[in-house]
Amino acid sequence: MMSPTPDLSPAHIPSLDRLLRSPDFEPLLSQFGHTRVSQSTRAHLQTLRQAVLNGTLSPQDLEPAQLAKTLQAQLTAESRLQLRPVFNLTGTVLHTNLGRALLPDEAIQAVVQAMRSPANLEFDLETGGRGDRDDLINPLLCELTGAEAATVVNNNAAAVLLMLSTLSPRRETVVSRGELVEIGGAFRIPDIMKRAGARLHEVGTTNRTHAADYENAINEHTAMLMKVHCSNYAVKGFTKSVSVEEVAQIAKKHGIPTSVDLGSGTLVDLSQWGLPPEPTVRETIEAGADIVTFSGDKLLGGPQAGLIVGRADLIAKIKKNPLKRALRVGKITLAALEPVLALYRSPERLPEHLTTLRLLTRPSTEMRAQALRLAPILQKWVGTLFTVEPTAMLSQIGSGALPEDVLPSFGLRFAYTGTGRPGRHLTQLEKRLRTLPQPVIGRIAQDAFWLDLRCLEEAFEADFSAQLTPEQA
Ligand SMILES: *Cc1c(COP(=O)(O)O)cnc(C)c1O
């Protein structure tokens, strides 16, 4: 800004009409349209009036070219979408707040197709009659889990709600006190039961529940025995829980079903890739569960969805519940889900093709080499306030899957070089990275700032580095 000109008056401000007709405004009008440009320009001229009166403007500030430039920047900033891609360098692979699983290319292509053109979502291509959207993935889910039937809803919370509302209305569902979990985002088993109209019959204690506890709880009001996978915590020490197999045997004896909320749920044995074992859906069905519910976007590596598999008669009942219509998934979800499930038909291809598994099994050597490449770039970007060191660290799977297990990983540690407490400098650094064009999300811990490189695949490394140019610093 030039030095203020005392004799500049509001009369020198160009009229809205003149600006809109000036060649400088042509590109703006063609990009944003007449309505939006005139609205923003009018508002801007209003602020100029005040600035002129305050004597803080120069004649150049009132040139159409300069005004067009200001408005271009303002309108462009306002047009930026609120949901934006970020770099998840938190070390938590399935980060709920960052959107959980990333989809494999096969699923992305299918989603694009489904969005572009009409699809046989509920249209039977054999008969030309009405179809059922569940039928698109039903056979695949049955093949992969050994279940008789399947249905899909919005997320696993919806799956549990729908299952309880259908199978335990005004009747009791028996759950161990050690399994009354709260998942992040206010999903609590006792609350969801209440909303589903099911009555919770708690048995056992926080640390120990015995088969006899289930047995003794069963009465004429009992609708179901339910087990919930302890997703995000572990009960340790003097503990006892009853296996799905045992619970299912007790339920069967009394002619009632057993349901299992697996939470993450996986379709393959993850220990074959060196990951900690999780019960698979197939094992749970084979152990005698009549209904199993699990998430689409946790370890499965697919879109947000809730999968319900199990006995055909129970699934049929669930599908008839009017709530099913309210909780159903759209074509975009189904388009993403089918190719993800299809990948599980060739398990040996999974570590390469299923993005979630690829990230979880990324070789340490690869992340280490990447840390060595990126350290000097980040050091230059951050300046002398921090030293950037490549370092070994630990990642988490996230989303409650295998809560205690951590994966050896590699990344960068930013250590404050000044004297005194680093706190404020760390939060400033965290903010600087978070406000980059493609925000970089890391974490502050142990008086340092950490970027875990597990989720920065090499294909995205150039984009990551490109925004760390000195001008951005
Ligand atoms: C994550 C989880 C849920 C909720 O699943 P969403 O797909 O997030 O709705 C329910 N139960 C358990 C045990 C979970 O781990």
Where residue 251 sits, what CATH number does that domain have? 3.40.640.10
313 falls within a domain: yes
335 falls within a domain: yes
Ligand 1 within 6 A of CB of 100: no
Ligand 1 within 6 A of CB of 338: no
Nearest CA residue ID for atom 6, ligand 1: 156
Last residue of a domain, one of 325, 351, 377: 351
Same domain, yes or no, for 150 and 266? Answer: yes
- pLDDT tens-digit readout, 129-186: 999 999 999 999 999 999 999 999 999 999 999 999 999 999 999 999 999 988 877 7
Same domain, yes or no, for 159 and 29? Answer: no
Q: Kindly report the pTM of this predicted structure.
A: 0.92
Last residue of a domain, one of 351, 374, 404: 351
116 falls within a domain: yes
Q: Residue 398 contacts by C-beta under 8 Å, 6 or more apart in sequence?
A: 92, 93, 94, 95, 96, 100
363 falls within a domain: yes
Same domain, yes or no, for 347 and 222? Answer: yes
Ligand 1 centroid to Cα of residue 264, in Å, is 7
Ligand 1 within 6 A of CB of 157: yes
- pLDDT tens-digit readout, 382-402: 999 999 999 999 888 887 655
Is residue 119 pLDDT above 90, yes or no? yes
CATH number at residue 410: 3.90.1150.180
Ligand 1 centroid to Cα of residue 348, in Å, is 27
Closest by Cα among 193, 174, 173, 156 to 242: 174
Which atom of ligand 1 sits closest to the CA of residue 184?
1
pLDDT of res. 473: 44
Which atom of ligand 1 sits closest to the CA of residue 261?
13
Nearest CA residue ID for atom 1, ligand 1: 263
Name the residue range of residue 256's domain: 105-351
Ligand 1 within 6 A of CB of 306: yes
Ligand 1 centroid to Cα of residue 161, in Å, is 11
Check if the beta carbon of residue 196 is closer than 8 Å to that of residue 158: no
Q: Which residues pair with 328 in a beta bridge?
A: 153
2 falls within a domain: no
Ligand 1 within 6 A of CB of 280: no
Same domain, yes or no, for 251 and 330? Answer: yes
User: Beta strand pairing status for 306-310 and 87-88?
Assistant: unpaired
| Domains contained in the chain, number | 3
Query: At 403, is the pLDDT very low, low, confident or very high (cuts 50, 70, 90)?
Result: low
User: Beta strand pairing status for 306-310 and 386-398?
Assistant: unpaired
Backbone CA torsion sign across 230, 236, 240, 246: positive
Same domain, yes or no, for 285 and 316? Answer: yes
- Mutate which of 162, 188, 295 for ligand 1? The one with the most ligand atoms within 8 Å of its CB, which is 295
266 falls within a domain: yes
247 falls within a domain: yes
Question: Under DSSP, is residue 145 helix (H, G, I), strand (E, B) or coil?
Answer: helix
Average pLDDT, the chain: 93
Same domain, yes or no, for 168 and 253? Answer: yes
413 falls within a domain: yes
Same domain, yes or no, for 114 and 229? Answer: yes
Same domain, yes or no, for 336 and 368? Answer: no
Same domain, yes or no, for 236 and 114? Answer: yes
Last residue of a domain, one of 351, 378, 404: 351
Ligand 1 within 6 A of CB of 295: yes
Ligand 1 centroid to Cα of residue 237, in Å, is 25
pLDDT of res. 405: 64
Q: Which residues pair with 173 in a beta bridge?
A: 200, 224
Same domain, yes or no, for 132 and 243? Answer: yes
- pLDDT tens-digit readout, 220-273: 999 999 999 987 677 788 888 999 999 999 999 999 999 999 998 899 999 999
Same domain, yes or no, for 131 and 29? Answer: no
Same domain, yes or no, for 393 and 347? Answer: no
